[in-house]
Structure formats: C-alpha cells, structure tokens
Structure 1
Amino acid sequence: MTIAATVRAALADIPAATFVVAEPGCGIIDIVDEMRAADGAVVMLMIESGVAGLDRALLGAAIGPLAIERAPATRIGAIDIREGAVPDHVEAAARFLAVARSTTGQVLVVAPES
C-alpha cells in the first residue's frame, strides 16, 4: 500500500476532505481536471514520491491558482511526498491542511527525517 493510500484511509474520519493522488506517470492535466471536479470542502492533492521532478513542480505550481478558482466554497492543499518520508508525518501534514480552515493554496513538502 502506498503512503498516499495509507493516509487516505487514516483520514477517513474527515468526510469533507476529498483526496486526489498523483502517481508516477500521471497526466498533469488529468490531475488538475480531477481537482477541479472534486466535491468537498477540502480537496487535497498527494504527490507520490516517484512522480518526476517536472511533473511535481507543475502540480505544485497549480495549487495556488486552483485555490483561487475554487474559493470560497472549497479549500485546496497539497502534500509533496518525498522518497523516504515517514508515513506518520505525511498523515500529520494532510490532517493539518484538511482541518486548518484558514489555510488554502498551500503545498507542504514532507521529506525524510535527517
């Protein structure tokens, strides 16, 4: 099971949150369209660690404009999961973005502990 799938399951107690997962080889336009169409008060993008650097950067750059486009009814956030990230840290970051009512358009990078 991927970290994103584990986090999605762990945050099932937040019914207003919709999770979109960007996996390696995903289509950027498809992910953005999925975020535009997603229901819920919070739409959270989780960028898997294997996503190519350019795709990762493009997805991160899309978060701010998507937040403006979907406001005020929907908040947008993203978790950029880096190789070796601790699943509990990814879950904590996702939970924060899901419940922080004054936060939208943010990308949190979760990297391995040093």
Structure 2
Amino acid sequence: MKKIKLFLASVAALVLVGCGGHGYEGEYVGKMEKSMLGKSDKTVTMVIGSNYMELAGERSEYDTIQVVDNNLVLQKGEKKESLAIVDDSTLSMDAGYMVVKFTKI
C-alpha cells in the first residue's frame, strides 16, 4: 500500500494543477477501481485548490488547472497530465496498471 500511495502522490504531483475557475476545487476520496496489483479497499484523500493539489498528505503547486475536452488538465511548465471527468463530483485517474476513482466529499 505504501508503494501505491507513493505512486499516487507522484502522479498527482504531475497531474493536478490549481487554477481558479475550473470548478473542481474541493476534497475527494479515491478508491482503486481496477488494478493489476490486486484488490484493495484502501482509500486516499485528494484536495484540489485554486493553484495546488494535495494527495496522501503531499502538496504540489501548479501553473494551471483547466477543463479541456472532458478532462481536468493540470500543467506545470511543459508537463501536462489529466484526470478524466466522470461527472460533476467524480474524477478518474488512469495510471496504466490501475484506475483510481475520486469522489467529492
């Protein structure tokens, strides 16, 4: 589980960018939907702010966060990552070997 949290924190540090006006600011709880690592009932908390994201207790600041083609695109410098927008209160992160679904709380 420690590896999963570290991975999520690393991905989120590259993924989520805080910029006012994107409409997805708030606190989310994430749970693995699909994983090649096996099933887990563990959850992780993510907070998206106007110019930052906190995941598993680690805070990262970003240049922009914006909605583009039904994705929440997070950019810091040249690096861009995205979270799929499922609905107004749900985001999905596909990390290749696992999918984490974040629901606003």
* TM-score relative to the length of structure 2: 0.30
Write 1 or 2 for the structure with the bigger share of helix. 1
* TM-score relative to the length of structure 1: 0.28
Write 1 or 2 for the structure with the bigger share of strand. 2
